[in-house]
């Protein structure tokens, strides 16, 4: 299974043209769903207004060279290393899910379009990357779902409680899990369960890409824009209208500085008050 292209094997029963058309329709759904999200939620208008307000409130102008440098910093930090997450476990889970999904997606597109039938030998690298990517999504995603997310870890809700906000993570996990099971069964058995898991794989994948207007899928496009905007607000001095961080050397900031120190104070300060360990998300 790790070295066979599951789509080339499937071409014995489903024409490669149908598979390629399906992938193109999914790409169109991502573009359409994201544009719908942008218009429906007014995200583009929100970003434009907030950047205009930030420029007006700012004490200095951010030049184009500085803006490019901030964009590179955002890509290198918030996007590539998920640096927005304070909780290290959540950050690792997100990195596994994010890189796993990108690797799995790339391998799928290469195998479906470049090696659609057994007539063109698929280099072993691609099926391997496909499996590794899908497994990374499963490890990061199930870890997040069962142990890390706030509803379960802090609010004590059941791991089986589902709300609409879970559409993205659940359909992503269902797609990669059913895909792996289908590929395994197809490579090793050929039983009727292969067909059952193929259908489940297609349903979950269609929900993942067609459900964008109702799910958190498009955060992967919005979050980088928001992180960049935040950096510009710090650079131009507007700070999105938030108070500036406390300056330890400024006596006027002594109250705020004491509050900062309190954050690092021992959990039991000898006052009989037991403070909980902070748990950031």
Identify the residue whose tokens are 């066979």.
4
Instruction: Figure out which of the listed residues 7, 10, 34, 101 binds ligand HEM, where binding follows CB under 6 A.
Output: 101
9: left (phi over 0), alpha (psi -120 to 50) or beta: alpha
157 DSSP assignment:
-
Residue pair 140/96 in contact (Cβ under 8 Å)? The answer is: yes
**244-273 mask for ligand HEM (x: CB under 6 A)?**
------------------------------
Q: What would the x/- binding string for ligand HEM be over residues 150 to 169, using CB under 6 A?
A: ---------------x--xx
- The region that residue 123 occupies, defined by phi over 0 for left and psi between -120 and 50 for alpha, beta otherwise, is beta
Q: Which stretch binds ligand HEM (CB under 6 A): 112-120, 125-133, 217-225, 248-256?
A: 217-225
What is the per-residue DSSP string for 238-281?
-GGGPPPPP-TT-GGGHHHHHHHHHHTS-SB-SSS-BPPPP---
Tell me if 116 contacts ligand HEM by CB under 6 A: no
Among 55, 57, 216, 256, binds ligand HEM (CB under 6 A): 216
Q: Does 94 bind ligand HEM (CB under 6 A)?
A: yes
For position 219 contacting ligand HEM by CB under 6 A, the verdict is yes
Q: Is 102 in the site for ligand HEM (CB under 6 A)?
A: yes
In the complex, the smallest distance separating the C-beta of residue 142 from ligand HEM, rounded to whole angstroms, is 11
- CA distances to 124, 135, 137, 165 from 172, in Å: 25, 12, 8, 13
Here the tokens at position 191 are: 């039983």
**Taking CB under 6 A as the rule, does residue 37 contact ligand HEM?**
no
Nearer to ligand HEM, 176 or 236 (CB): 176
Residue with smaller CB distance to ligand HEM, 4 or 50: 50
- Binding to ligand HEM, residues 64-93 (CB under 6 A): 78-79, 84
Q: How far apart are the first and last CA of the chain?
A: 37
Tokens describing residue 196: 């059952």
67: which residues sit within 8 A by CB, 6+ positions away?
232
Nearer to ligand HEM, 14 or 68 (CB): 68
Interacting residues toward ligand HEM by CB under 6 A = 78-79, 84, 94, 97-98, 101-102, 165, 168-169, 216, 219-220, 223-224, 227
């Amino acid at each position: 299974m790790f070295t066979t292209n599951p789509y080339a094997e499937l071409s014995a029963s489903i024409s490669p043209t149908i598979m390629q058309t399906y992938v193109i329709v999914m790409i169109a759904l991502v573009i359409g769903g994201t544009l719908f999200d942008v218009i429906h939620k007014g995200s583009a208008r929100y970003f434009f207004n907030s950047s205009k307000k930030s420029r007006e409130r700012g004490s200095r102008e951010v030049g184009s060279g500085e803006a490019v440098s901030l964009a590179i910093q955002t890509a290198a930090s918030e996007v590539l290393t998920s640096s927005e997450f304070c909780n290290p476990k959540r950050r690792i889970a997100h990195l596994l899910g994010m890189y796993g999904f990108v690797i799995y997606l790339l391998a799928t597109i290469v195998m479906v379009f470049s090696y659609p039938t057994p007539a063109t030998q698929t280099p072993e690298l691609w099926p391997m990357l496909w499996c590794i990517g899908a497994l990374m999504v499963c490890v990061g995603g199930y870890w997040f779902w069962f142990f890390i997310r706030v509803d379960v870890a802090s609010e004590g809700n059941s791991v089986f409680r589902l709300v609409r906000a879970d559409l993205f993570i659940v359909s992503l996990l269902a797609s990669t899990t059913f895909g792996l099971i289908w590929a395994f069964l197809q490579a090793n058995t050929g039983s009727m369960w292969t067909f059952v898991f193929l259908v489940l794989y297609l349903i979950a994948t269609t929900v993942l890409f067609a459900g964008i207007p109702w799910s958190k899928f498009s955060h992967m496009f919005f979050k980088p824009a928001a992180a960049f905007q935040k950096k510009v607000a710090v650079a131009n001095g507007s700070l999105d209208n938030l108070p500036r961080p406390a300056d330890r050397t400024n006596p006027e900031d002594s109250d705020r500085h004491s509050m900062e120190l309190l954050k690092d104070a021992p959990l039991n300060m000898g006052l009989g008050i037991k403070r909980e360990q902070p748990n950031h998300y």
